[in-house]
Amino acid sequence: MKQIFTNLVAIDDINISKRDIFVEDGFITTEFKSDEETKIIDCNGLVLVPSFVDMHTHFRDPGFTYKEDLKTGSMSALKGGYTTVNLMPNTNPIVSSKKIYEDIVKRAKDLDLIDIKQVYSITKDFKSDDLSHLKDLPEGLLFLSNDGKGVDDDFSMYQAIKIAKKNNLKFTLHEECKEISKYDYEIAEDVMTLRDCYLSYKMDMPIHFSHVSTKGAIEAIRYFKDLGAKITCEVTPHHIYFSDRKELKVNPPIRKEKDRLALLDMIKKGYVDCIATDHAPHSKEEKENGKPGFIGLETAFSTSYMTLVKAGIISLNDLIRLMSTNPSKLLEIKKGKIKEGYMADFTLIDFDKVYEYKEEDILSKSKNSLFINQKLQGQIVRVYKKGILKYDLNGKTL
Protein backbone atom coordinates (compact mmCIF):
# COMPACT_ATOMS: atom_id res chain seq x y z
CA MET A 1 0.00 0.00 0.00
CA LYS A 2 1.31 3.42 -1.00
CA GLN A 3 0.33 6.63 0.79
CA ILE A 4 1.21 10.29 0.58
CA PHE A 5 0.60 12.41 3.68
CA THR A 6 0.28 15.99 2.46
CA ASN A 7 -0.68 19.51 3.61
CA LEU A 8 1.16 19.30 6.94
CA VAL A 9 4.03 20.59 9.03
CA ALA A 10 6.32 17.69 9.99
CA ILE A 11 8.19 17.90 13.30
CA ASP A 12 10.47 15.34 14.87
CA ASP A 13 13.43 15.55 17.25
CA ILE A 14 15.58 17.41 14.72
CA ASN A 15 13.55 18.99 11.91
CA ILE A 16 10.57 21.23 11.31
CA SER A 17 9.44 21.30 7.68
CA LYS A 18 6.52 21.64 5.32
CA ARG A 19 6.69 18.61 3.06
CA ASP A 20 4.92 15.52 1.85
CA ILE A 21 5.66 12.22 3.57
CA PHE A 22 5.71 9.05 1.50
CA VAL A 23 4.70 5.74 3.06
CA GLU A 24 4.87 2.26 1.59
CA ASP A 25 3.60 -0.81 3.44
CA GLY A 26 3.59 1.03 6.76
CA PHE A 27 7.09 2.51 6.60
CA ILE A 28 8.40 5.93 5.63
CA THR A 29 10.19 5.89 2.28
CA THR A 30 11.70 8.28 -0.21
CA GLU A 31 9.50 9.64 -2.99
CA PHE A 32 7.99 6.86 -5.09
CA LYS A 33 6.11 6.79 -8.36
CA SER A 34 2.42 7.21 -7.65
CA ASP A 35 -0.19 5.03 -9.30
CA GLU A 36 -3.98 4.90 -9.32
CA GLU A 37 -3.98 2.97 -6.01
CA THR A 38 -1.83 5.49 -4.10
CA LYS A 39 -3.84 7.02 -1.26
CA ILE A 40 -3.53 10.77 -0.69
CA ILE A 41 -4.09 11.73 2.96
CA ASP A 42 -4.85 15.42 3.50
CA CYS A 43 -3.63 16.49 6.95
CA ASN A 44 -5.54 19.78 6.78
CA GLY A 45 -2.57 21.94 7.74
CA LEU A 46 -2.05 20.17 11.06
CA VAL A 47 1.30 19.35 12.66
CA LEU A 48 2.44 15.76 12.14
CA VAL A 49 4.82 14.24 14.72
CA PRO A 50 6.07 10.70 15.37
CA SER A 51 3.48 9.07 17.61
CA PHE A 52 4.32 9.03 21.29
CA VAL A 53 5.85 6.10 23.18
CA ASP A 54 5.22 5.63 26.91
CA MET A 55 7.91 3.94 28.97
CA HIS A 56 5.67 3.51 32.01
CA THR A 57 2.04 2.41 31.84
CA HIS A 58 -0.47 0.40 33.89
CA PHE A 59 -3.40 -1.32 32.12
CA ARG A 60 -4.33 -3.48 35.17
CA ASP A 61 -4.83 -6.54 32.98
CA PRO A 62 -5.01 -9.28 34.25
CA GLY A 63 -6.65 -9.10 37.63
CA PHE A 64 -7.87 -5.52 37.98
CA THR A 65 -9.84 -5.06 34.78
CA TYR A 66 -12.58 -3.13 36.55
CA LYS A 67 -10.04 -0.27 36.47
CA GLU A 68 -8.65 -0.78 32.95
CA ASP A 69 -8.04 -3.52 30.42
CA LEU A 70 -5.93 -3.90 27.31
CA LYS A 71 -8.65 -2.52 25.03
CA THR A 72 -9.71 0.51 27.08
CA GLY A 73 -6.08 1.28 27.91
CA SER A 74 -5.17 1.15 24.23
CA MET A 75 -8.06 3.46 23.36
CA SER A 76 -6.91 5.91 26.03
CA ALA A 77 -3.37 5.74 24.66
CA LEU A 78 -4.57 6.52 21.13
CA LYS A 79 -6.57 9.50 22.35
CA GLY A 80 -3.32 10.83 23.83
CA GLY A 81 -1.34 10.28 20.61
CA TYR A 82 0.46 7.09 21.70
CA THR A 83 0.98 3.97 19.58
CA THR A 84 3.35 2.15 21.96
CA VAL A 85 3.23 1.58 25.71
CA ASN A 86 5.45 -0.33 28.13
CA LEU A 87 3.28 -2.14 30.69
CA MET A 88 4.38 -2.63 34.29
CA PRO A 89 4.11 -6.12 35.86
CA ASN A 90 2.15 -5.31 39.04
CA THR A 91 -1.01 -7.06 37.87
CA ASN A 92 -2.82 -9.97 39.52
CA PRO A 93 -1.16 -12.38 39.12
CA ILE A 94 2.13 -10.49 38.89
CA VAL A 95 3.92 -10.97 35.57
CA SER A 96 6.48 -13.46 36.89
CA SER A 97 5.84 -16.33 34.49
CA LYS A 98 6.10 -16.98 30.77
CA LYS A 99 2.43 -18.01 30.68
CA ILE A 100 1.16 -14.67 32.00
CA TYR A 101 3.61 -12.68 29.88
CA GLU A 102 2.75 -14.53 26.67
CA ASP A 103 -0.99 -14.25 27.30
CA ILE A 104 -0.78 -10.45 27.61
CA VAL A 105 1.41 -10.12 24.51
CA LYS A 106 -0.90 -12.34 22.42
CA ARG A 107 -4.11 -10.58 23.46
CA ALA A 108 -2.53 -7.18 22.77
CA LYS A 109 -1.44 -8.29 19.32
CA ASP A 110 -4.90 -9.66 18.53
CA LEU A 111 -6.46 -6.30 19.46
CA ASP A 112 -4.26 -4.56 16.88
CA LEU A 113 -4.83 -1.09 18.33
CA ILE A 114 -1.37 -0.13 19.59
CA ASP A 115 1.96 -1.89 20.18
CA ILE A 116 2.23 -3.19 23.73
CA LYS A 117 5.49 -4.13 25.44
CA GLN A 118 5.29 -6.09 28.68
CA VAL A 119 7.76 -5.77 31.56
CA TYR A 120 8.68 -8.81 33.71
CA SER A 121 9.14 -8.76 37.49
CA ILE A 122 12.66 -8.64 38.94
CA THR A 123 11.80 -10.88 41.88
CA LYS A 124 9.18 -13.62 41.67
CA ASP A 125 5.79 -12.25 42.75
CA PHE A 126 7.70 -9.26 44.18
CA LYS A 127 9.13 -11.36 47.02
CA SER A 128 12.32 -9.78 48.32
CA ASP A 129 14.86 -12.45 47.36
CA ASP A 130 13.30 -15.00 44.96
CA LEU A 131 14.88 -14.88 41.47
CA SER A 132 13.97 -18.43 40.44
CA HIS A 133 11.61 -17.30 37.66
CA LEU A 134 14.53 -15.64 35.82
CA LYS A 135 15.89 -19.08 34.91
CA ASP A 136 13.29 -19.47 32.14
CA LEU A 137 12.54 -16.17 30.41
CA PRO A 138 10.02 -15.47 27.62
CA GLU A 139 11.16 -14.53 24.13
CA GLY A 140 11.11 -10.85 23.26
CA LEU A 141 11.55 -9.68 26.84
CA LEU A 142 13.50 -6.45 27.27
CA PHE A 143 12.85 -4.92 30.71
CA LEU A 144 12.62 -6.08 34.32
CA SER A 145 10.90 -4.10 37.09
CA ASN A 146 9.21 -4.44 40.45
CA ASP A 147 7.28 -1.26 39.79
CA GLY A 148 5.23 -0.13 42.73
CA LYS A 149 8.02 -1.39 44.96
CA GLY A 150 11.77 -0.98 45.23
CA VAL A 151 14.07 -4.00 45.48
CA ASP A 152 15.02 -3.62 49.13
CA ASP A 153 17.41 -6.56 49.35
CA ASP A 154 20.82 -5.37 48.12
CA PHE A 155 22.13 -8.85 47.32
CA SER A 156 18.99 -9.69 45.32
CA MET A 157 19.51 -6.56 43.21
CA TYR A 158 23.17 -7.45 42.71
CA GLN A 159 22.26 -10.99 41.60
CA ALA A 160 19.46 -9.75 39.37
CA ILE A 161 21.90 -7.46 37.56
CA LYS A 162 24.24 -10.37 36.88
CA ILE A 163 21.35 -12.42 35.46
CA ALA A 164 20.10 -9.48 33.38
CA LYS A 165 23.54 -8.86 31.87
CA LYS A 166 23.78 -12.51 30.87
CA ASN A 167 20.39 -12.30 29.11
CA ASN A 168 20.79 -8.81 27.58
CA LEU A 169 17.98 -7.38 29.69
CA LYS A 170 17.56 -3.90 31.17
CA PHE A 171 15.86 -2.52 34.27
CA THR A 172 13.23 0.15 34.76
CA LEU A 173 13.25 0.85 38.50
CA HIS A 174 10.82 2.20 41.06
CA GLU A 175 13.16 3.64 43.68
CA GLU A 176 11.77 3.45 47.21
CA CYS A 177 13.37 2.04 50.34
CA LYS A 178 10.31 0.57 52.06
CA GLU A 179 11.45 0.93 55.64
CA ILE A 180 12.53 4.55 55.20
CA SER A 181 9.45 5.58 53.22
CA LYS A 182 7.34 5.04 56.31
CA TYR A 183 9.12 8.05 57.78
CA ASP A 184 10.67 10.07 54.96
CA TYR A 185 9.65 9.40 51.37
CA GLU A 186 12.16 11.87 49.94
CA ILE A 187 15.16 10.11 51.51
CA ALA A 188 13.60 6.74 50.60
CA GLU A 189 13.83 7.63 46.89
CA ASP A 190 17.23 9.28 47.15
CA VAL A 191 18.92 6.39 48.99
CA MET A 192 17.81 3.67 46.60
CA THR A 193 18.56 5.83 43.55
CA LEU A 194 22.12 6.32 44.81
CA ARG A 195 22.55 2.56 45.32
CA ASP A 196 21.34 1.66 41.85
CA CYS A 197 23.25 4.47 40.15
CA TYR A 198 26.39 3.04 41.73
CA LEU A 199 25.51 -0.52 40.67
CA SER A 200 24.87 0.67 37.11
CA TYR A 201 28.24 2.41 37.04
CA LYS A 202 30.23 -0.33 38.78
CA MET A 203 28.64 -3.28 36.96
CA ASP A 204 28.27 -1.59 33.56
CA MET A 205 24.51 -2.21 33.62
CA PRO A 206 21.84 -0.27 31.68
CA ILE A 207 19.31 1.03 34.21
CA HIS A 208 16.31 3.25 33.51
CA PHE A 209 14.95 5.16 36.50
CA SER A 210 11.17 5.45 36.63
CA HIS A 211 9.18 8.56 37.63
CA VAL A 212 12.13 10.43 39.19
CA SER A 213 10.67 13.03 41.53
CA THR A 214 13.25 14.45 43.97
CA LYS A 215 16.12 16.89 43.59
CA GLY A 216 18.44 14.42 45.33
CA ALA A 217 17.56 11.56 42.95
CA ILE A 218 17.96 13.60 39.77
CA GLU A 219 21.25 15.04 41.02
CA ALA A 220 22.54 11.51 41.68
CA ILE A 221 21.51 10.51 38.16
CA ARG A 222 23.27 13.56 36.71
CA TYR A 223 26.46 12.75 38.64
CA PHE A 224 26.66 9.13 37.53
CA LYS A 225 25.65 9.96 33.95
CA ASP A 226 28.60 12.33 33.82
CA LEU A 227 30.83 9.48 35.01
CA GLY A 228 29.65 7.43 32.03
CA ALA A 229 27.15 5.11 33.67
CA LYS A 230 24.56 3.53 31.33
CA ILE A 231 21.74 5.40 33.00
CA THR A 232 18.52 6.81 31.56
CA CYS A 233 15.57 8.30 33.40
CA GLU A 234 12.03 9.54 33.04
CA VAL A 235 9.88 12.15 34.75
CA THR A 236 6.10 12.35 34.70
CA PRO A 237 3.89 15.23 33.53
CA HIS A 238 2.33 15.52 36.99
CA HIS A 239 5.69 15.86 38.78
CA ILE A 240 6.72 18.77 36.54
CA TYR A 241 3.25 20.38 36.60
CA PHE A 242 2.35 20.27 40.31
CA SER A 243 4.23 20.92 43.55
CA ASP A 244 3.37 21.21 47.26
CA ARG A 245 0.05 19.37 46.84
CA LYS A 246 -0.04 16.69 49.54
CA GLU A 247 -3.73 16.05 48.90
CA LEU A 248 -2.91 14.64 45.44
CA LYS A 249 -2.24 11.01 46.28
CA VAL A 250 0.34 9.46 43.97
CA ASN A 251 3.44 7.29 44.37
CA PRO A 252 6.01 8.85 44.37
CA PRO A 253 4.16 11.83 45.85
CA ILE A 254 3.92 15.31 44.42
CA ARG A 255 7.08 16.94 45.73
CA LYS A 256 8.13 20.39 46.86
CA GLU A 257 8.69 23.28 44.48
CA LYS A 258 12.47 22.85 44.84
CA ASP A 259 12.14 19.34 43.45
CA ARG A 260 9.92 20.39 40.55
CA LEU A 261 12.36 23.14 39.60
CA ALA A 262 15.27 20.69 39.78
CA LEU A 263 13.47 18.36 37.38
CA LEU A 264 12.79 21.23 34.98
CA ASP A 265 16.43 22.29 35.15
CA MET A 266 17.64 18.77 34.36
CA ILE A 267 15.19 18.51 31.46
CA LYS A 268 16.61 21.75 30.08
CA LYS A 269 20.19 20.51 30.52
CA GLY A 270 19.45 17.21 28.79
CA TYR A 271 19.80 14.80 31.71
CA VAL A 272 16.18 13.61 31.50
CA ASP A 273 15.60 11.10 28.71
CA CYS A 274 11.82 10.63 28.65
CA ILE A 275 8.47 11.98 29.68
CA ALA A 276 6.47 8.95 30.88
CA THR A 277 2.89 9.00 32.10
CA ASP A 278 2.75 6.38 34.90
CA HIS A 279 -0.88 6.02 33.74
CA ALA A 280 -2.49 4.48 36.85
CA PRO A 281 -6.24 3.80 36.60
CA HIS A 282 -8.32 3.39 39.78
CA SER A 283 -12.01 3.26 40.58
CA LYS A 284 -13.76 6.26 42.11
CA GLU A 285 -14.08 4.44 45.43
CA GLU A 286 -10.39 3.56 45.53
CA LYS A 287 -9.36 7.17 44.92
CA GLU A 288 -11.73 8.36 47.63
CA ASN A 289 -9.98 5.91 49.97
CA GLY A 290 -6.55 7.32 49.11
CA LYS A 291 -5.28 4.89 46.46
CA PRO A 292 -2.21 6.51 44.84
CA GLY A 293 -2.03 7.26 41.13
CA PHE A 294 -3.77 9.01 38.24
CA ILE A 295 -4.52 8.33 34.61
CA GLY A 296 -2.31 10.38 32.30
CA LEU A 297 -2.10 9.07 28.74
CA GLU A 298 -4.79 11.36 27.35
CA THR A 299 -3.37 14.61 28.76
CA ALA A 300 0.40 13.97 28.80
CA PHE A 301 1.20 15.79 25.58
CA SER A 302 -0.89 18.90 26.30
CA THR A 303 0.34 19.31 29.87
CA SER A 304 3.98 18.71 28.88
CA TYR A 305 3.66 21.10 25.95
CA MET A 306 2.25 23.80 28.22
CA THR A 307 4.76 23.20 31.03
CA LEU A 308 7.89 22.87 28.91
CA VAL A 309 7.48 24.39 25.46
CA LYS A 310 4.99 27.21 26.03
CA ALA A 311 7.01 28.17 29.11
CA GLY A 312 10.19 28.41 27.03
CA ILE A 313 12.13 25.70 28.86
CA ILE A 314 12.74 23.46 25.84
CA SER A 315 11.92 23.45 22.13
CA LEU A 316 9.20 21.48 20.44
CA ASN A 317 11.88 19.27 18.88
CA ASP A 318 13.15 18.52 22.38
CA LEU A 319 9.66 17.53 23.53
CA ILE A 320 9.29 15.09 20.64
CA ARG A 321 12.68 13.65 21.61
CA LEU A 322 11.44 13.11 25.18
CA MET A 323 8.04 11.68 24.24
CA SER A 324 8.86 9.69 21.11
CA THR A 325 12.47 9.44 19.91
CA ASN A 326 14.23 8.50 23.15
CA PRO A 327 11.62 6.03 24.46
CA SER A 328 11.61 4.37 21.02
CA LYS A 329 15.37 3.87 21.33
CA LEU A 330 15.00 2.40 24.81
CA LEU A 331 12.33 -0.03 23.63
CA GLU A 332 14.43 -0.83 20.54
CA ILE A 333 11.65 -0.08 18.06
CA LYS A 334 11.88 1.68 14.70
CA LYS A 335 9.74 4.65 15.70
CA GLY A 336 10.27 8.21 16.88
CA LYS A 337 11.63 9.86 13.75
CA ILE A 338 10.20 11.09 10.45
CA LYS A 339 12.89 9.37 8.46
CA GLU A 340 13.19 6.71 5.79
CA GLY A 341 12.91 3.20 7.20
CA TYR A 342 10.95 4.23 10.31
CA MET A 343 7.39 3.10 10.99
CA ALA A 344 4.65 5.40 9.78
CA ASP A 345 3.28 5.94 13.27
CA PHE A 346 2.02 9.51 13.10
CA THR A 347 0.09 11.80 15.43
CA LEU A 348 -1.64 14.88 14.01
CA ILE A 349 -1.98 17.79 16.44
CA ASP A 350 -3.82 21.10 16.42
CA PHE A 351 -1.37 23.20 18.43
CA ASP A 352 -3.63 26.25 18.50
CA LYS A 353 -6.59 24.38 19.91
CA VAL A 354 -7.43 25.14 23.54
CA TYR A 355 -9.89 22.55 24.78
CA GLU A 356 -11.56 21.58 28.03
CA TYR A 357 -10.81 18.05 29.19
CA LYS A 358 -14.18 16.67 30.24
CA GLU A 359 -14.92 13.50 32.15
CA GLU A 360 -17.44 12.32 29.55
CA ASP A 361 -14.73 12.43 26.87
CA ILE A 362 -12.27 10.17 28.74
CA LEU A 363 -11.70 6.86 26.93
CA SER A 364 -9.96 5.18 29.86
CA LYS A 365 -12.23 2.95 31.93
CA SER A 366 -11.15 4.99 34.97
CA LYS A 367 -11.78 8.70 35.38
CA ASN A 368 -9.15 9.55 38.01
CA SER A 369 -7.52 12.41 36.11
CA LEU A 370 -5.95 15.48 37.64
CA PHE A 371 -7.06 17.61 34.71
CA ILE A 372 -10.83 17.17 34.45
CA ASN A 373 -12.54 20.47 33.55
CA GLN A 374 -9.20 22.17 32.98
CA LYS A 375 -8.34 24.00 29.76
CA LEU A 376 -5.40 22.46 27.92
CA GLN A 377 -3.61 23.39 24.71
CA GLY A 378 -2.56 21.16 21.82
CA GLN A 379 -5.27 18.68 20.87
CA ILE A 380 -4.66 15.27 19.33
CA VAL A 381 -6.73 15.05 16.15
CA ARG A 382 -5.69 11.83 14.40
CA VAL A 383 -3.35 8.90 15.07
CA TYR A 384 -1.94 6.48 12.49
CA LYS A 385 -0.15 3.18 13.19
CA LYS A 386 1.94 1.95 10.26
CA GLY A 387 -0.07 4.27 8.05
CA ILE A 388 -3.45 2.93 9.24
CA LEU A 389 -5.85 5.35 10.91
CA LYS A 390 -6.47 4.17 14.49
CA TYR A 391 -7.94 7.28 16.10
CA ASP A 392 -9.90 10.27 14.88
CA LEU A 393 -11.04 13.02 17.24
CA ASN A 394 -14.42 13.23 15.57
CA GLY A 395 -14.91 9.49 15.31
CA LYS A 396 -13.10 8.58 18.56
CA THR A 397 -11.24 5.28 18.12
CA LEU A 398 -12.08 3.41 14.92
Residues 43 and 347: their CA atoms lie apart, in Å, by: 10
Query: Exposed e or buried b for every residue in 259-273, given b needs 16+ CB within 10 A?
Result: bbebbbbbbeeebbb
The whole-angstrom distance between residue 286's C-alpha and the CA centroid of its chain comes to 23
Q: Is the CB of residue 118 less than 8 Å from the CB of residue 101? A: yes
Q: Is the CB of residue 178 less than 8 Å from the CB of residue 171? A: no
List residues bridging with 274 in a β-sheet.
234
How many angstroms separate the Cα of 366 from the Cα of each of 141, 257, 280, 379? 28, 29, 9, 21
Of 328, 323, 377, 332, which Cα lies nearest the Cα of 350? Answer: 377
278 counts as catalytic: yes
Distinct helix (H) and strand (E) counts, the chain: 12, 19
Helix (H, G, I), strand (E, B) or coil at 138: coil
* Active-site entry in 69, 115, 278, 350: 278
What are the residue ranges of helices labelled H in the chain? 70-79, 98-111, 154-166, 178-181, 185-203, 215-226, 237-241, 257-269, 284-288, 300-304, 316-320, 326-330
306 Cβ contact partners less than 8 Å away, ≥ 6 residues apart: 376, 377, 378
Give 386's DSSP letter.
T
Of 160, 162, 159, 157, which Cα lies nearest the Cα of 175? Answer: 157
252 Cβ contact partners less than 8 Å away, ≥ 6 residues apart: 176, 185, 189, 211, 213, 214, 239
Of 238, 232, 231, 272, which Cα lies nearest the Cα of 252? Answer: 238
Residues marked active site are found at: 278
